[in-house]
Amino acid sequence: PTQGLVYFSRSADHVGLFTQDVAGMRLAASVVCQDWKEVARPGSLPVLGVPEGPCLQQADPEGLATFRRQVERLAAAGVEIRTVPALDDIERINHLHRRLIFAEFADEHAGIYDRYAALYRPRTAEIIEIGRTVTDDERTEALASMTELRADQADLMDAEGIDLWACPAATGPAPAGINATGNPIMNLPWTHAGMPAMTLPAGLAANGLPLGLQLVARFQDDERLLDWGAMLEELL
């Protein structure tokens, strides 16, 4: 259900939930998500894939080092880790995603921006102005790339025997203050593909703020993602 939401991008937006543990998330998701289905609990730990390459390198040094330690901890606990080259075209994915969501953001505000532009936060106004420059051909290409990326990731996971991708939840610790929420780049390809992602608390940065481990499942495999997440939560 999306009643009451003001969309950023109707093609890419996902409603996110916060809970204190995976059990709480399973309960919340079963209420919020339409057609939620209880599935047979997996009998073994998932095989995790680490998407080595330019996407992973977008994390800052502290975020990446923490992620490596998280993976080592899981491997020591018996989780099979497979390192797989992936998302070599992340710059193109990032570009297409931003062009699409900026265009759709401009669409959402088309009725009020011209009247109240002076009241908009400068960065918000900038996004709308950029969004208005996006061509129909760019939109078509970006929308097509969403389903292409989804299919490519499913094929790669099948070929490599991967149940879940594992990667940093963010580039590093959250920024100080309330002016920004941080860089969403580590979540961007999964959002673009419509793949379900969850973050488990998995350590602290040097400044004491939490750093999470992001787990990503196949398209529409949300229920199994939470089941596997519950298993991994106990190991972190």
pLDDT in tens, 61-77: 999 999 999 999 999 99
pLDDT at residue 58 is higher than 80: yes
Helix ranges restricted to H, 8-56: 22-32
Cα(191)–Cα(193) distance, integer angstroms? 5
CA dist., res. 119 & res. 69, Å (int): 45
CA atoms of 163 and 225, how far apart (whole Å): 9
What pTM was estimated for this model as a whole? 0.94
Mean pLDDT of 124-151: 98
Position with higher pLDDT, 3 vs 160: 160
Confidence of residue 168 (pLDDT cuts 50, 70, 90): very high
pLDDT at 1: 65
Q: With H, G, I as helix, E, B as strand and everything else as coil, classify residue 109.
A: coil
What mean pLDDT comes out for the span 78-106? Answer: 98
Other CB atoms closer than 10 Å to residue 209's CB: what's the count? 12
What's the mean per-residue pLDDT of the chain? 95
Task: Specify whether the CB–CB gap between 93 and 188 falls below 8 A.
Answer: yes
What angle in degrees, to the nearest 10, is found between the helix axes of 90-108 and 122-131? 100
Structure tokens at 95: 């570009």
pLDDT computed for residue 81 by the predictor: 99
Query: What is the reported pLDDT for 3?
Result: 79
Given a cut of 90, whether residue 178 has pLDDT beyond it is: no
Using CA atoms, how far apart are residues 196 and 229, in angstroms rounded to an integer? 12
CB atoms within 10 A of CB 199: 19
Q: What is the mean pLDDT of residues 206-212?
A: 91
Helix or strand holding residue 13 (H, E)? none
Contact 231, 189 (CB under 8 A): no
Domains of the chain by range and CATH?
Answer: 22-88+145-233 (3.90.1300.10)
Q: For the ranges 34-38, 93-97, 99-103, 223-227, which has the lowest average pLDDT?
A: 34-38
Q: What percent of the chain has pLDDT over 90?
A: 84
pLDDT higher than 80, residue 2: no
pLDDT tier for residue 49 given thresholds of 50, 70 and 90: very high
Interaxial angle between packed helices 22-32 and 222-233, expressed in degrees from 0 to 180 and rounded to the nearest 10: 170
> CA Rg, the chain, in Å?
19
Rounded to whole angstroms, how far apart are CA atoms 30 and 101?
28
Rounded to the nearest 5 percent, the helix, strand and coil shares of the chain are: 45, 15, 40
Can you tell me which residue has the tokens 């298993």?
Answer: 231
